Amino acid sequence: MYRTGSGLSDFEDNSKVLAKKSKIVMLARADLLAECLTQAISTRFQGHEVVSLSEADSLLDGNLDDVALVMLYRIPATTFPSVIRTIHEFHPRASIGLVVENADEVDTSIAGFVDEGLIHGVLPLNLHLDVCLTAIDLLMKGGEHFPAALLRRLAPKSAGLPARQEASVAALPSAQRSDIGNGVLTTREIQILDLICMGTQNKIIADRLGLSENTVKVHVRNIYKKMNVRNRTEAASHYFRHDGDANPPRWHN
């Protein structure tokens, strides 16, 4: 005997289908950082369902559909290739973000996946939480985010990576670009703005990016002009204003 649903029940069922949330998957070995990051992502992206996985085989679950982003953390280098292949095969529309302890020490084999465009973002643990969440937001929108230290390592091998990064900045939705100002920031300006948000001085920025301090000052002035701000504090505040958090948390005090 089959249950006959009323018109109202059908409407409610259809509403549930329409309200189905896309998923953000956190594939990580469980530790305090993974738990904190998962919680922060859940709070920031309430329109998505956040799924925590500890085993790569769970990516094969047939119920794990409509995945928008897969975040990887503490994945052994030996299993990394198979994990990446699984994601691309079973979740081809998902962006892939990699959380690392230090961008300067990313395993060579893993860096190769970045060079080939198979990973869409690398997020070092020393990023401020607001910067990290903004980078995740960019990945969700189909953009890319790579730290300057990693770009420097790959620059001699791949001239195309900076071009992909440049395209990702332009891919920001118009509403988000308006937060940056009337002009879209270049890749180099985005890199410098990331460092500014970490409180890095011009001299240190110059050293990290292999630039002269005068060149950095020119970039900083251009950033201020494009964002219509007067100083570093205003630049960071204006850039993250769309998060709606006047005092965003940080990884480190």
Instruction: Tell me which of 50-54, 102-106, 223-227 is least confident.
Output: 102-106
Task: State the pLDDT at residue 67.
Answer: 94
Pick 142 or 248 by higher pLDDT. 142
Instruction: Tell me which of 35-44, 109-118, 179-188, 205-214 is least confident.
Output: 179-188
* Same domain as 141, residue 242: no
- Note whether residue 4 is domain-resident: no
pLDDT at 32 over 90: no
Of 128, 158, 188, the position where a domain reaches its end is 158
* Same domain as 195, residue 79: no
228's CB contacts (< 8 A; 6+ apart) are 181, 182, 238
Q: How confident is the model at residue 241 (pLDDT cuts 50, 70, 90)?
A: low
Task: State the pLDDT at residue 169.
Answer: 39
* Same domain as 34, residue 122: yes
Task: State the pLDDT at residue 72.
Answer: 95
User: How far is it, in rounded angstroms, from Cα 110 to Cα 106?
Assistant: 7
User: How far is it, in rounded angstroms, from Cα 132 to Cα 248?
Assistant: 11
Number of folded domains that form the chain: 2
H-helix or E-strand containing 53? Answer: strand 49-53
Rg (CA), the chain: 20
The region that residue 74 occupies, defined by phi over 0 for left and psi between -120 and 50 for alpha, beta otherwise, is left
* Same domain as 212, residue 94: no
Q: What is the mean pLDDT of the chain?
A: 75
* Same domain as 100, residue 35: yes
pLDDT digits (tens, 9 = 90+) for 63-102: 899 999 999 998 888 888 999 999 989 999 999 999 988 7
Percentage of the chain lying above the pLDDT 70 cut = 73
Query: Please, are residues 124 and 101 in contact by the beta-carbon 8 Å criterion?
Result: yes
* Same domain as 136, residue 71: yes
* Same domain as 187, residue 153: no
Tell me the backbone φ, ψ of residue 22, rounded to 5 degrees: -70, 160
Q: Whole-prediction pTM value?
A: 0.57
pLDDT at 55 over 60: yes
User: How far is it, in rounded angstroms, from Cα 48 to Cα 103?
Assistant: 28
Task: State the pLDDT at residue 10.
Answer: 53
- Note whether residue 125 is domain-resident: yes
- Note whether residue 167 is domain-resident: no
Cβ contacts of 134-140, under 8 Å, gap ≥ 24: 134/239, 134/240, 134/243, 135/97, 136/41, 136/44, 136/45, 136/69, 136/71, 136/97, 137/44, 137/45, 137/176, 138/168, 138/172, 139/69, 139/95, 139/97, 140/24, 140/45, 140/48, 140/68, 140/69, 140/95
* Same domain as 104, residue 229: no
Of 91, 126, 158, the position where a domain reaches its end is 158
Of 125, 158, 191, the position where a domain reaches its end is 158
* Same domain as 133, residue 36: yes
Query: Please, are residues 236 and 128 in contact by the beta-carbon 8 Å criterion?
Result: no
Domain containing residue 206: CATH number: 1.10.10.10
Domain containing residue 114: CATH number: 3.40.50.2300
- Note whether residue 56 is domain-resident: yes
* Same domain as 183, residue 69: no
- Note whether residue 127 is domain-resident: yes
Q: How confident is the model at residue 229 (pLDDT cuts 50, 70, 90)?
A: confident
* Same domain as 197, residue 129: no
- Note whether residue 117 is domain-resident: yes
**Which residue range(s) make up the domain with 154?**
10-158
- Note whether residue 1 is domain-resident: no
171: helix, strand or coil: coil
| DSSP H helix total and E strand total for the chain | 12, 5
